[in-house]
Amino acid sequence: MEQHLGRLIDHVHIRTRKFAESQAFYEAVLGALGRRITSKGDGYFCSDELYVDRSDDYESRIHLAFQAEDRAAVQRFHAAGVASGGRDNGPPGERPYHSGYYASFLLDPSGNNIEAVYHGPQTRSASDVVTIRS
Q: From first to last of its 134 residues, what are the pLDDT tens digits of the chain?
A: 555 555 567 789 999 999 999 999 999 999 999 999 999 999 999 998 899 999 999 999 999 999 999 999 999 999 999 999 999 999 999 999 889 999 999 999 999 999 999 998 877 777 777 777 77
Distance between CA 63 and CA 1 in Å, rounded?
A: 31
CA distances to 12, 20, 44, 58, 100 from 37, in Å: 14, 14, 11, 23, 29
Contact 129, 7 (CB under 8 A): yes
Contact 88, 68 (CB under 8 A): no
Question: Nearest CA to 33 among 65, 63, 11, 1?
Answer: 65
